Structure 1
Amino acid sequence: MTPEPLPAMLRRLRTSHGWSQARLAAALCEASGHPTVTRNDVSRWERGKRVPRFWLPYLARVFKVPRERLEMATVADTGPDAADTLSSLLPLGNAVAPLSARNGSRVGQSTADDLAARAHGLRLADDVLAGGDLIGPAFRELDAAVRVLRESTHTNAVRRELLRAVGELAQIAGWVASDAADPRTEATYRLGLDAAREAGDGALAAQLAGSLGYHLVNNGRVADGAALSVAAVAEGGPDAPGKTRALFHDRAAWAHTKAGDAQAAMRSLGAAHEALAEDSGDAPEWAYWVNEAELEVMDARVYTELRRPLRAVPLLSRVLRGYPVTSTRERALYESWLAVAYADANEPEEAARVAARVIELSGDVASARASYRVQVVLSRLANYQDVPEVREILAN
């Protein structure tokens, strides 16, 4: 039986609820907390002009249907278009428009809010797009925010918010640059760190320091990155929201692992789970993605790096069963650790099966990290060249 195409499915679900396209758009804005969906967007989805990959979890929520049904309807699609995704997530207009307004170059809180919304739009786009797709837009948005900060006049209170927005944009631009193997990564993170500290936002400063530490660790500067990751925990402080502290401890755990300090890594993993359990719902918007499943992924990554596959395999398998198929890059990365864990557990057939999926997923995303992980998986499988399933993978 031919699966129902996504455009027809969305139209059927909407009409069965008695909703107009505008009513569905309003429901999605309310469910996501991100008011950028319009009736025109819904119309494009139902005509097959765009694929609402980012919005699938929210469509499932408002229609009260399993997310997997919607995701399966997108499998035959060629993938999300970067321009379309960004147009649905970024606020309308030009970030530097206030500089040419009638009142000269004086800006207020609304401009700072707009820049913060642009940062969050990029973060949401990063959930479904890779660094190579976002590198241009991310730096255009960051450059525009820096220009507004430098060329406008504003009150001290607004300046703090503009600095915070620059810090947030620098964090996501640095993350995108790291994923794209762009040489501007470190300088971008340091720009954001300076802005966050001047704004007096300790949690954001820790986020940027931890992000830079993570980048350094993953690019061969383990000692520097580990020191910075540990410093980020201290910079965030014990009073930072639980979600943010969990994130900082998780990055420290990874740094300790790469530095060969297994005991410190285990302590940091435990501290991350404790911090998340203490979260009171006051975390900043940029920590929206931190949850128990993501912490379990880091647990499993650490266990894999420490050659403890019997701990890693069950964790990764459970998380991946419920992970969105639209998050192609993350699935490729997480499955790469699963493939390595299977190899370490002396299960080469399973390792080869997962490796084939990693290779397939990585071929669809413009991510240097995903490409690197493919090479790691293939290197680990080389120990099992006498296994037919592995030999087939290595031969292709």
Structure 2
Amino acid sequence: MTDDRRRQFGAYLARLRRDAHKSQPQLAAMLCAVSGTQSLTRNEISRWERGGRIPETWLPCIADVLGVPVGELERAAAYARGELEGPPIGAAATLSEVIPAGDPLAPLASRTGRRIGGDDVARLAARVHGFRLADDVLAGGDLMAPVFRELNAAMRLYRESAHTEAVGRALLVQIGELAQIAGWIASDAGRHEQAERAYRLGIEAARQAGDSPLVAHLAGSLAYQLSNTGQERAGLDLARAAVEEAGPDAPPRTRALFFDRVAWAYTRAEQAQPAIQALGQAHEALTEADNEETPQWAYWVSREELEVMDARVFTELHRPLRAVPLLTDVLRRYDATHAREVALYRSWLAIALADANEPEQAAGEARRVVSASVDMASDRTASRARAVLRRLQDFQEVPEVDNLLHDHGHLLSA
């Protein structure tokens, strides 16, 4: 029985428990009640979910309590024991579906390039972070060509150079991080297929490097795109799989990000209560003592950014009394050089104001969004501008809205 398969089973069991909205102590108490024994504790549930043990004799009771077919649990347990071959289970099953076919990162049969070391990786890491910082102030269309050139160069460096195993792993991490940035930039430019290919490549690189939080970061990024492009169910499954992949020991700042993406995926899937619960989990994770070094790619995760997601979720759920104060406060303090984010956040504020029956203020915010989107090479911002204009069509009798639609209504047919 492999450790990996036991961990997969544990992650699968944990997801079933969370889907049933049960805590570990609650599950232990319910299993004791069903089985007529008092011998099971929360610690044993935790041990199962960590992959320390498969709950062999408890499977029928677990199936009863969590409302899943016992045959499904038994097949998963048999796979974990190594008695069955076939697809993985739980989060691994979801993530395995997005791994690219073949191995685009396989080294060439004969490495002919120069030997590289840690200094080369450090220089690549600096360029990777440079793209992150550039994405804060530039739109996707401005960065597409250079970021994909850099990604292709990094892949060639890995495949063709001579290096130690440790250097190879470090290179794979940087390829994974760069692929995440490239995917995000491509998505912002409206190149969703290219973005998905980049995310899938990055997941494979991070998997080969053994970096679970980075795998989760890439999977969550792809989940976010799926949720926003009409694939809400797939986005939700992948967002939840990303949390499981990262595990409870991932740095708190990264877990906050992953839960935020789960919250958005639930929102897009029109599941309000799980969405709000995930928002709470994100805030809880961020307040935990962070004794571990946080990956550089999570530098931007903060209470302010979590509040933006709170407001977006409340807007989507038509709760403007909660969304408007949050967005107003965040925008008052937000760095104005991050023009795309400011425009996006104003778009949510405009819709929340419309929902609050404040069309005059909504029209003012909408005009700012449209003006910013016209000169910005960001498909995401242009799409949000159109969404705001569509929402304000319900208030055409209001002079401010009528003037806005007269000036910019043509964008709705773009």
TM-score normalised per structure 2: 0.70
Q: How many residues align?
A: 294
Deviations 1:270-315 (A, max 9, x none): 0000001015162100000000000000000000000000000000
Q: Which amino acid aligns with 1:390?
A: V
RMSD: 1.0
1:238 corresponds to = 248
Q: Which amino acid aligns with 2:229?
A: N
Contact 1:300 1:315 in 2 (8 A): yes
* Alignment equivalent of 1:198, drawn from 208, 215, 225: 208
Deviations 1:83-113 (A, max 9, x none): xxxxxxxxxxxxxxxxxxxx95211111111
Classify 1:384/1:147 alpha carbon distance in 2 versus 1 (closer, same or farther; 3 Å).
same
1:148 corresponds to = 157
Contact 2:121 2:171 in 1 (8 A): yes
Q: Does residue 314 of the first structure (1) align with residue 288 of the second (2)?
A: no
Tell me the secondary structure at the aligned position of residue 129 of structure 2: helix
Contact 1:167 1:196 in 2 (8 A): yes
> What stretches of structure 1 of length at least 5 have no aligned partner?
1-102
Q: Does residue 135 of the first structure (1) align with residue 144 of the second (2)?
A: yes
| Runs of at least 4 residues off by over 3 Å | none
Matches within 5 A, 1:172-187: 172-182=181-191, 183-187=193-197
Deviations 1:301-350 (A, max 9, x none): 00000000000000000000011111110001000000000000000001
Contact 2:113 2:160 in 1 (8 A): no
1:273 corresponds to = 283
Q: Distance in 2 between matches of 1:112 and 1:278?
A: 31
Contact 1:243 1:279 in 2 (8 A): no
2:355 corresponds to = 344
Q: Does residue 286 of the first structure (1) align with residue 291 of the second (2)?
A: no
Please state how far the C-alpha of 1:367 moved relative to its aligned partner: 0.2
1:324 corresponds to = 335
Q: Which amino acid aligns with 2:362?
A: A
1:160 corresponds to = 169
Q: Distance in 2 between matches of 1:366 and 1:164?
A: 29
Q: Does residue 220 of the first structure (1) align with residue 234 of the second (2)?
A: no
Q: Does residue 394 of the first structure (1) align with residue 405 of the second (2)?
A: yes
Q: Distance in 2 between matches of 1:203 and 1:117?
A: 20
Matches within 5 A, 1:1-396: 104-182=113-191, 183-280=193-290, 282-396=293-407
Contact 1:174 1:188 in 2 (8 A): yes
Deviations 1:125-181 (A, max 9, x none): 000000000001110110110000100111110010000000000000000000001
> What stretches of structure 2 of length at least 5 have no aligned partner?
1-111, 408-414
Q: Distance in 2 between matches of 1:238 and 1:301?
A: 26
**Which has the greater radius of gyration?**
2
- The farther-off stretch of 213-222 and 277-286 is 277-286
- The farther-off stretch of 179-188 and 244-253 is 179-188
Q: Which amino acid aligns with 1:348?
A: P
Deviations 1:25-56 (A, max 9, x none): xxxxxxxxxxxxxxxxxxxxxxxxxxxxxxxx
Contact 2:263 2:313 in 1 (8 A): yes
Q: Which amino acid aligns with 1:289?
A: W
Q: Distance in 2 between matches of 1:112 and 1:190?
A: 22
Please state how far the C-alpha of 1:363 moved relative to its aligned partner: 1.8
Tell me the secondary structure at the aligned position of residue 184 of structure 1: helix
Q: Distance in 2 between matches of 1:247 and 1:279?
A: 16
Please state how far the C-alpha of 1:114 moved relative to its aligned partner: 1.4
TM-score normalised per structure 1: 0.73
Q: Distance in 1 between matches of 2:113 and 2:214?
A: 31
1:15 corresponds to = none
Q: Distance in 1 between matches of 2:276 and 2:370?
A: 30
Q: Distance in 2 between matches of 1:278 and 1:329?
A: 30
Q: Which amino acid aligns with 2:344?
A: L
- The farther-off stretch of 239-248 and 108-117 is 108-117
